[in-house]
A and B are shown apart, each in its own frame.
Chain A
Amino acid sequence: MIPILEARGLTKRFGKTQALAGLDLVARPGRVVALLGPNGAGKTTFVRAVATLLRPDAGTLHVDGIDALQKPAKVRQVIGLAGQFAAVEEAMTGRENLQMVGRLFGLGRKEAKAAAVRVLDQMQLAADADRLVRTYSGGMRRRIDLGISLVGTPRLLLLDEPTTGLDPGSRIQLWEAIRGLVATGTDILLTTQYLDEADRLASDIVIIDHGKVIAAGTPAELKTRAGDDMIEVHVRDADDLPAVSGVLAKIGHDPRIDVPQRRAYVAVDDGSSRLMEVLRVLDQQGVTVEDVSLRRPTLDEVFLALTGKPAQTTDSPRQPAGA
């Protein structure tokens, strides 16, 4: 089976910034791959390389078996791209935007019209098809943008941070739209900074940082490595934290203490049954607990578990275009 995407040793440098540092990634067809990483990890650079918008310094890149460095024009025939901005023409209606891109994909007038109707239905925008995009909400813009990348029924759809900047409701709507695509068998490579997004949409998660893959696997596999659930205990008196940590150490692996926030947390395998146990023991020891919660690991914690160091966040952009 030809991988839909195969990158070997990709490197790319912008001035002093090493955006890609030998990135290896193989995606099998029929999978949704989420590229997860902090700002400046190289996600956007990688997507732009796959979309043939930039040329890597070294390495090889194949999209659906086509050499993206030798035959970029061929790659453009099988991909769809929805970038970080909703790249739509505001002075045109949703339908006109779709028809325009359909025509550019080489469809005839009638085919372009039919493709627009199909995509409008798919994105649940049929009712707003003939309004100018400048009157659309942020979420609708993203959906029409996603729709535009589908007009050509691509083999590989590239979504660069599809839900960044959206309110929670629009985010969920967009997730539904993306999941609908998955059901129709479109292969997707998406980038995100949010673990929950990767978790909900992807069949494979690739975590990258500093332009390299640091971990890859199904969401379940990665979370097992990070600990399935986190038990987090907030106390009233920070002096109780060592005692809490001692209790947590018995039920999970390697508990962490956060003194300023007066909390301690640990990754556990079987959260709900362990939660009762923690409460019982803390009560016996007379520790006053302000709050106890059972939650999923955050991206930071997955990073911590996988790399032993916290994820770099927005404070240290390593790439010019905030990529």
Chain B
Amino acid sequence: MADTSVLAPSPGVPRAAINTGAGLWSSSLVVAGRMVRKFVRTPQLIVFTAIQSALFLLMFRFAFGGAIGTGGSLSYVNFLVPGFITTTVLWAGMGAATGVAEDVEHGFVDRLQSLPIPRAAVLIGRSLADTALIVWALAIAAIFGFAVGFRLQGSVSGAVAAFGLCVVFGFAFEWVFIVLGLVGGNAQAAQQMGLMITPLVFLSSAYVPVRSMPGGVRQFSENQPLTPMVDAVRGLATGAGGKALLEHSTGYYIGLSLVWAAAIFAVFGLLAVVRFTRRQ
């Protein structure tokens, strides 16, 4: 230790830099880049997500489907697939809760927060990357949908709009999962909390017509955010047969679902940023 007790900075070595740090946008992109690489290089994630999604669809299409009436001229497969694709945003987004909790647990968040970047960039980057993953999951879900017999009855532009709506919903719900990940403390707890969305998925118009549900359950289903989202996507994708099942015009459901998405994003985005940027 004698050689370390008196130190003189040696010449030629980069030292004592002041790092101004990357701006909000570029640091968000760098953080997002990390997430995308992680996903692409972990094949288990991709394969497992796809298999889970396929099993789910097959179960409803071929096991339960025969017993579920749509209450109109629309066939069950054409009723089911738009609902299935919409709920994919929740199944795919749920991983964010675990991912965020892991990053907190393993010190990755500490590292990012000790860097000279806007702290919100860590969250924005994550939500951007996870939204990209949701786009991927939606594409897979749509391919599966066509494979089990779904046929588009609305216009192509309507289908594109439906897909776009799903991405918007996915982005909004993403912030719910980010908050759960931050609050959860560890990956397992966060995963359990994420699974609490299951009732939201099943008590909606995604898999069965809300009209078939008994009083209280039906009231919940009609007034929760996922139902207008599913109805909007269904209205856009299924043409006259689907529209006949809806009380209001497709435009009404699009508007209502976007209001919901905006509200979810506003509330949970704020919660996430407050929780994340506040020093204990």
Q: Which chain A residues have a beta carbon within 8 Å of chain B's beta carbons?
A: 14, 30-32, 48, 51-55, 72-73, 76-81, 83-87, 89, 91-92, 96, 100-101, 103-107, 118, 132, 148, 152-155, 179, 182-186, 199-203, 218-219
Q: Given A152-B19, A185-B15, A201-B4, are A104 and B10 also a contact pair (CB < 8 Å)?
A: no
Interface pairs (22), CB distance under 8 Å: A53-B110, A72-B279, A77-B20, A77-B21, A78-B19, A81-B110, A81-B114, A83-B110, A87-B106, A87-B111, A89-B37, A92-B38, A101-B115, A104-B30, A105-B22, A106-B22, A118-B14, A148-B111, A184-B15, A199-B1, A218-B1, A218-B5
Q: B114 is contacted by which of A14, A51, A118 (Cβ under 8 Å)?
A: A51
Q: How far is the CA of A105 from the CA of B112 in the complex (A)?
A: 10
- Residue B6 lies at the interface, judged by CB distance under 8 Å to chain A: yes
Closest 4 CB pairs of A and B: A185-B9, A85-B107, A87-B107, A30-B7
User: Does the CB pair B107–A105 fall under 8 Å?
Assistant: no
Chain B residues 20 to 57 lying within 8 A of chain A, measured CB to CB, are: 20-22, 26-27, 30-31, 33-34, 37-38, 41-42
Q: Complex Cα distance A96/B36, Å?
A: 13
Partner of B7, one of A91, A106, A203: A203
Question: Are A203 and B20 in contact (CB-based, < 8 A)?
Answer: no
Q: How far is the CA of A135 from the CA of B217 in the complex (A)?
A: 51
Residues of A within 8 A of B20 (CB): 77, 106
The answer to whether B33 and A100 have CB atoms under 8 Å apart is yes
Residue among A51, A101, A152, A179 having the largest count of chain B Cβ atoms under 10 Å: A152
In the bound complex, residues from chain B placing their C-beta under 8 Å from that of A83 are: 107, 110-111
B280 contacts A55, C-beta separation under 8 Å:
yes
Bound: A155/B14 CA distance, A: 10
Given contact pairs A78-B18, A104-B115, A105-B19, A91 touches B37 in the complex (Cβ within 8 A): yes
Q: Are A132 and B9 in contact (CB under 8 A)?
A: no
Residues of A within 8 A of B18 (CB): 77-78
Contact (Cβ within 8 A) A53 B107? no
Q: Are B38 and A89 in contact (CB under 8 A)?
A: yes
B116 interfacial by beta-carbon distance below 8 Å? yes
Are B113 and A53 neighbours in the complex by a CB distance under 8 Å? yes
Q: Are B117 and A104 in contact (CB under 8 A)?
A: yes
Known contacts A96-B37, A179-B4, then 4 further A-B pairs from the complex at CB < 8 Å, ordered by chain A residue: A32-B7, A103-B22, A153-B14, A203-B5
Alpha-carbon distance A186/B7, docked complex (angstroms)? 9
Q: Which residue of A lies closest to B12 (CB)?
A: A184
**Nearest chain-B residue to A54 (Cβ)?**
B280
B21 CB contact (under 8 Å) in A104, A118, A148, A202:
A104
Whether A91 contacts B4 by the Cβ 8 Å rule is: no
Which residues in A have their C-beta under 8 angstroms from that of B21? 76-77, 104-106
Tell whether, in the assembled complex, residue A77 and residue B19 are in contact, meaning their CB atoms are under 8 Å apart.
yes
**Chain B interfacial positions (CB closer than 8 Å to A):** 1, 4-10, 13-22, 26-27, 30-31, 33-34, 37-38, 41-42, 106-108, 110-117, 279-280
Question: Would you call A185 and B7 a contact (CB within 8 A)?
Answer: yes
Contact partners of A76 in chain B: CB under 8 A: 21, 114-116
Would you call B4 and A182 a contact (CB within 8 A)?
A: yes
Indicate which residue in A91, A105, A201, A218 contacts B115 across the interface (CB closer than 8 Å).
A105
Which residue from A104, A185, A202, A219 sits with its C-beta under 8 Å from B112? A104
- Whether the Cβ atoms of A89 and B34 lie closer than 8 Å is yes
CB distance from A305 to the nearest CB of B (A): 20
Task: Provide the residues of chain A in CB contact with B17, threshold 8 Å.
Answer: 152-155
Residues of chain B within 8 A (CB-CB) of A14 are 280
Contact A91 B41 (CB under 8 A): yes
CA distance A132 to B37 in the complex (A): 11
In the complex, which residue of chain A has the Cβ closest to the Cβ of B118? A73
Which residues does chain B contribute within 8 Å of A73, judged by CB atoms? 116
- In the assembled complex, the Cα of A142 lies from the Cα of B75 at a distance in Å of 58
Do the beta carbons of B279 and A184 come within 8 Å of each other?
no
Q: How far is the CA of A79 from the CA of B113 in the complex (A)?
A: 12
Q: Are A53 and B116 in contact (CB under 8 A)?
A: no
* Chain B residues whose CB sits within 8 angstroms of the CB of A92 once the complex forms: 34, 37-38, 41
User: Are B10 and A183 in touch, CB under 8 angstroms?
Assistant: yes
Could you tell me the distance in whole angstroms from the C-beta of A81 to the nearest C-beta in chain B? Answer: 4
**Chain B residues with CB under 8 A of A80:** 114
- Given contact pairs A51-B110, A76-B115, A153-B15, A104 touches B27 in the complex (Cβ within 8 A): yes
CA distance A73 to B19 in the complex (A): 11
**A200 / chain B contacts, CB cutoff of 8 Å:** 1
Least CB separation from A132: chain B residue: B41
The minimal Cβ–Cβ distance linking A49 to chain B, given in whole angstroms, is 9
Looking across the interface, which residue of chain A has its beta carbon closest to that of B13?
A184
B4 and A203 contacting across the interface, CB-CB below 8 Å: yes
Q: In the complex, what residues of B have CB within 8 A of residue A179's CB?
A: 4
Residues on B with C-beta less than 8 A from A72 are 279
Docked pose: A76 CA to B14 CA in angstroms: 18
Contact B10 A185 (CB under 8 A): yes
Other-chain residue from B6, B9, B26, B279 in contact with A55 (beta carbon distance below 8 A): B279
Chain A residues with CB below 8 A from B34, complex form: 89, 92, 100
